[in-house]
Structure 1
Amino acid sequence: MFLDEAYWTNRYNEKSTGWDIGSPSTPLKQYLDQISNKGLKILIPGAGNAYEAKYAYDLGFEKVHILDFSPIPIAQFKQSCPDFPNANIFLENFFMHQGKYDLVLEQTFFCALDPQLRKEYVKKMQEILLPGGKLTGVLFAMEFDYPGPPFGATLEKYIQYFTPEFEILKLEACYNSIPPRQGSELFVQLRKS
């Protein structure tokens, strides 16, 4: 399966966006609520309609950035959040991105990538995170018995993917998932080694 820009744009055109919950995910919302340093430079890759970015921006995080390579969610986000700085919006392939960040928020991006790109994902996260930077978010805590996306993994596989490049601060069952996803998500917080 070739999960290129055309594939995702087609999914938006067909309104086949089961990953889109229509609001910020509860785990990321509650995580952002706990951060006092509003000066962090944040990236949300594969941001889609970027509810978490709007939430973070409304909380006072002025250095939050979004990235997606489908123009449809980017255009929808610009309409829903017109005050968000255009300079913080990237319409591009994540693997080509050159920014540096204190924090990358993971919400349905890792699981949307072809599993063959997982090593490249880890390498790219290492590249774009500043020293001591964190990768934080939600991953699926299961493997799916149908062709993806989404693509999940087991806890053991996630540990293999992310070590030794990252220090695992948290990789545990997500206690505050939305009801339809209860028991199927892991909360992850990794620090760049």
Structure 2
Amino acid sequence: MNQEFTAEYWQQRYQQNQTGWDVGSITPPLREYFDQLENRDLRILIPGCGNAYEAEYLFNQGFTNVYVADVAEAPLQNLAGRVPGFPKDHLLRQDFFSLSGHFDLIMEQTFFCALEPSLRPAYAKKCHELLQPKGKLMGLLFDTTFAKAGPPFGGNRDEYRTYFAPYFDFIHLDTATNSIPPRQGSELFILLKAKTQE
């Protein structure tokens, strides 16, 4: 893990309220995907979860196996404070690359773009390792270049394909049609299915 973006770095960002990526609620593309899921027992992982409004939404909709992971303590505490019933053992203060277990769905929302770009191939591989056979990776990726040095780090769909193609079949990798106004036209909705290794 790049030492510049350590747990202490992210903890400080939360403590100093330097969280420009945080829009304060679940965003429409993610909500609409979750709303069409029927199986409330799916094992769902949200890595680099931040304040985890998505986990809060899912929990309130009756999803019982939602796990959130972050290297910083503050956002996990924030979720626990907002949703006292959220299972404490589903709050994982852990580096994504050290996680274990198997999940049916991994949700991506502003974690990929926070990683040092050199880690992107490892991210794709780790997502595949954490998913059940034919499990899915769903979420949003930025389809833009940022003027300032990251994080967040930008990218584009052709670049992303190179990372995910070895491990996933592509169901969707399309411009999101229902992004929040500040992100209109600069987000890709992804839905990828884990390949079964021969």
Q: What TM bracket, shorter-length normalisation?
A: over 0.9
Question: Counterpart in 1 of 2:97?
Answer: 95
Superposition RMSD on alpha carbons, in Å?
0.9
Q: Deviations over 1:109-144 (max 9, x none)?
A: 100100011111011101100101000000001122
TM-score normalised per structure 1: 0.98
Unaligned ranges ≥5, structure 2: none
User: Within 5 Å, which residues of 2 pair with 1:1-193?
Assistant: 2-193=4-195
Cα displacement (A) at 1:40? 0.6
Cα displacement (A) at 1:164? 2.2
Q: Find runs of 4+ consecutive structure 1 residues off by over 2 angstroms.
A: none
Amino acid at match of 1:100: H
Cα displacement (A) at 1:154? 1.1
Q: Deviations over 1:61-95 (max 9, x none)?
A: 10011111100111111100000011111011111
The number of residues matched between the two structures is: 193
- Separation in 1, partners of 2:110, 2:156: 15
- Separation in 1, partners of 2:153, 2:101: 26
- Separation in 2, partners of 1:93, 1:161: 20
TM-score normalised per structure 2: 0.95
- Separation in 1, partners of 2:14, 2:87: 23
SS of alignment partner, residue 146 of structure 2: coil
